[in-house]
Chain A
Amino acid sequence: MIKVTIDGIVTEVPEGTTILQAARQIGGEIVPPAMCYYSTLKNSGGKCRACLVKVAAGSAKDPRPMPKLVPSCITMAQDGMVVENITNPSVLETRKGVVEFLLLNHPLDCPICDQAGECDLQNFAYEHGMSKTRYEEERRTFEPIDIGDKIKLHMNRCILCYRCTYVADQLTDNRVHGVLNRGDHAEISTYIEKAIDNDYSGNMIDVCPVGALTDKTFRFKSRVWFTKPLDAHRDCPKCSGKVVLWTKGEDVLRVTARKDQYGEVKEFICNECRYDHKDMKHWVVEGPRHIDRGSVIAQNHYEKIDLLKLKQDVERQLKFQAGKQLDANNTLSA
């Protein structure tokens, strides 16, 4: 076990753990955002630069700081490492820059995008971005295409995280899509209009952090926050069969894999579960899906509220606000 300090909080993790995973072990606000890293996909990460952190001391043996900001998702934690994330202004400044870069060519079509409400980029921009862009030029545009018979690709929205190519590499036996061209004209494509057709292709939709890959069977059916998510399962010979049903009344509008609090799927599901069983009768419903109260999907949520926990939350908030008030007063008088 090695000791890592992240934003002043010490934690112990096994050797070979990345800084990001160590931060996730601590949890809370100090967890760096990740737009391309996906813990269940090997080799992912290092591309979006959203998770850059400052290493103030490399290790106990060599306590020199690292000269550049490092991507926390692929940098291994060392014993005695001191990491600064939200306590370092240059990290936050850089992150602001990354948001701006990611949004340069991203159409701000959230009002008509199916991903809105469960979009990693939306959350990232909301938390770290600026309210205005300084970009005046025209955005690069592509036509939406059907990349598979049930998957729509809006290349305009893609942030080139490469997650979907890793899904194809690691879950299926044959990858038929990839990244073409260079620079800001790089695009996800199957090159000769070939359709992606295999039993696990639907997972591309789940791993996509933005609305670039969307489920054609759910497109424009409903805003995600008007649906009721239910945990459910069925006996599936191909996959775990553990899913989330996004329902409206008795209708199953969409089936997805279960995502954890960082939006990552731990158990991928097959296309049969995803597309062919949109009937409540086919599923054993376990109960309402837990949705974080911070999420917009929680707006319409009906999960049983833990009154004790809620009371604690409210009290903590009030205390926090009172503390802020006090701070402001002190600063004013000083």
Chain B
Amino acid sequence: MGRKLLLKDIDVPGIRSFEVYRKQGGYASVEKALKTMTPDAVMEEVKKSGLRGRGGAGFPTGMKWSFLDRKSDKPRYLICNADESEPGTFKDRYLMEYIPHALIEGMIVSSYALGAKASYIYMRGEFRWIFPILEKAIEEARAAGFIGKNILGTDYSLEVYVHSGAGAYICGEETAQIESLEGKRGNPRNKPPFPAVVGLYNCPTVVNNVESIAAVPPIINIGGDEYAKIGVGKSTGTKLISASGHINKPGVYEIELGLPVEEFLYSDEYCGGIWKGRKLKAVIPGGSSVPILPGDLFLKNAKGEPRVMSYESLADGGFASGSMLGSGGFIVMDETACIVRNLWTFARFYHHESCGQCSPCREGTGWMEKVLHRIETGHGKMSDIDLLVDVAKKIEGNTICPLGDAAAWPVASAIRHFREEFEYHIKYPEKVKDPKHFEKEPFVSERNAVVAA
């Protein structure tokens, strides 16, 4: 049983309310930080903890905070990125819905560390029902004196606002989110300048994921050094994983980083193995944007060492034979899943969500979707496979924001590892007419994975 920091009280009845949360030891970190620590000391603890951004990129949170322009006399802002829309990721929703105070507590401590007087929670538009939950939590915290003027009698004041987006995936990109928060069209900005220098209303801004912010109170409570002991190497602490797909027990699990992937996938404590006793075909370990891995390459890396759930281990092998932990959207596919169909679904998503600002992403995502649709419905040509690889290569790295990369990586990796399956779709168009073709007759490959040199 791994240690739980974020979800330890999830089963306490009424944890959503302030009284119960407080009784369980909530808001202790606010008292500790505001009364006994300086903002720099709080930041130092977060740096020591080695906490890495939980939104997908895995950038060290403490380092991100230290980039904030402190010399400028402009106000500073903290934005909590609650625009969780990555297919396969639903951890922030769970956290905000069931323990809203964990996020509010984190917001107060983080804002204190950054010297922000106003902080925003940018909520995904579709999370309409969580909006009142967070508003209520903020009101309760305000009534108890944790938000507002002179918190706990100190001279620190803070306002926390919840802002609803309008349902755009692109607004999860930090600069697009800032634009959207300013009331403009959610188009990502060109970087540099980075938000730490020129952010919201041209002021220094930090944008952090919900889970990153919620992880700050436990760090303050137990101390950065203690937190850094959990996990493995540079992947410290606990991480929420949203497991979905063909497994017996889909859901949100809190794991200690460094948990063997095999244990996570097959133990009854977590995913509980592949459903209906089927075989594992492929895993997307970090949300739809990260490269897909065939089952064997997921359990063991190219060198044959078993992988663990950590930023480094999953990325081992680079793009040739590795993937990323990303935002923890753990999608499992059994032997009946069709990689092409799944990829087409993702491509459709990125086509729909591209903001249309820069040309490679605007035109390329649509093109890839159309070609994949053609292959999946049995109208493909052999040259289409190389075309997809080429288009993905021309999008990757040439766009303003990472959405282009996110659209290109799944395509490139799926073709790298499952090229045979694409060829099968082209060779036997009549067999793939039925959308459930591999459910009737699972695809059997002579070679399971090709490890690119």
Q: A: which residues have CB within 8 A of B?
A: 45-50, 52, 68-69, 71, 74, 93-94, 97-98, 100-102, 104-105, 134-135, 137, 159-160, 162, 178-179, 181-186
Take A49-B360, A105-B363, A137-B370 as given contacts and tell me if A183 and B397 are in contact as well, using a CB distance cutoff of 8 Å: no
A101-B353 in contact (CB<8A): no
- With both beta carbons as reference points, the residue of chain A lying nearest to B381 in the complex is identified as A136
A74's nearest neighbour on chain B, judged by CB, is B190
Q: Complex formed: what's the CA distance from A104 to B362 in Å? A: 10
Asked whether any CB of chain A lies closer than 8 Å to the CB of B29, the reply is no
- Chain B residues whose CB sits within 8 angstroms of the CB of A162 once the complex forms: 357
Q: Is B435 an interface residue (CB 8 A)?
A: no
Question: B367 contacts A104, CB within 8 Å?
Answer: yes
Contact A183 B354 (CB under 8 A): yes
Question: Are B357's CB and A47's CB within 8 A?
Answer: yes
How many Å lie between the Cα of A135 and that of B364 in the bound state?
11
Name 21 A/B residue pairs within 8 A (Cβ), A-sorted: A46-B190, A46-B358, A47-B358, A48-B359, A94-B394, A97-B360, A97-B391, A97-B398, A98-B394, A100-B394, A101-B364, A101-B367, A101-B394, A160-B356, A182-B168, A182-B353, A182-B354, A182-B356, A183-B354, A185-B356, A186-B362
Query: Looking at the complex, which one of A47, A69, A184 makes contact with B363 (CB distance below 8 Å)?
Result: A184
Are A184 and B358 touching (Cβ within 8 A)?
no
Tell me which of B168, B362, B367 has the highest count of chain A C-beta atoms within 10 A of its own C-beta. B362
B359 touches A186 (CB 8 A): no
Q: A183–B356 contact, CB under 8 A?
A: yes
CA distance A160 to B355 in the complex (A): 11
Q: Tell me the complex Cα distance, A145–B23, Å.
A: 64
What's the least CB distance linking A221 to chain B, in Å? 31
Most buried by B among A47, A50, A162, A184: A184
Q: Which residues of B contact A102 (CB under 8 A)?
A: 359, 363
CA distance A195 to B302 in the complex (A): 61
Assess whether B358 is in contact with A182, with CB atoms less than 8 Å apart: no
Decide if the interface of chain A is mainly helix, strand, loop or mixed.
loop
User: Would B354 and A134 count as touching, CB distance under 8 A?
Assistant: no
Q: Within 8 Å CB of B400, what residues of A?
A: 46-47
Q: Does B365 contact A (CB under 8 A)?
A: yes
- In this complex, how many residues of chain B approach chain A with their Cβ under 8 Å: the count is 30
* 8 nearest A-B pairs in the assembled complex, by CB-CB distance: A97-B394, A186-B356, A101-B363, A183-B354, A46-B190, A104-B363, A137-B370, A184-B366
Across the interface, do A48 and B358 meet the contact criterion of CB distance under 8 Å?
yes
Q: How far is the CA of A334 from the CA of B365 in the complex (A)?
A: 46
Given A47-B400, A101-B359, 19 additional A-B pairs, CB 8 A: A50-B359, A69-B397, A97-B360, A97-B398, A104-B367, A137-B367, A159-B359, A160-B356, A160-B359, A178-B185, A179-B356, A182-B353, A182-B355, A182-B356, A183-B351, A183-B352, A184-B356, A184-B362, A186-B355
* C-alpha gap A179/B179 in the complex (Å): 15
- How close is B349's CB to chain A, nearest CB, in angstroms? 11
B399 within 8 A of partner (CB): yes
Indicate if B28 sits at the interface (CB-CB under 8 A).
no
A184-B354 CB under 8 A given contacts A104-B363, A179-B185:
yes
Bound state CA distance, A134 and B391, in angstroms? 10
Residues of A within 8 A of B399 (CB): 49
| Bound CA span A162–B352, Å | 20
Q: Does B387 contact A (CB under 8 A)?
A: yes
Pair A160/B357 contact, Cβ less than 8 Å = yes
Supposing A48-B358, A97-B360, A101-B394 touch, asked if A183 and B185 sit within 8 A by C-beta, the answer is no
Closest to B189 in A: A46
Residues of B within 8 A of A104 (CB): 363, 366-367
Which of B185, B360, B365 is most buried by chain A, counting CB atoms within 10 A of its CB? B360
> Would B357 and A69 count as touching, CB distance under 8 A?
no
CB nearest neighbor in A for B404: A49
Q: Using Cβ atoms and an 8 Å threshold, which residues of chain A touch B374?
A: 137
Q: Which residue of A lies closest to B405 (CB)?
A: A68
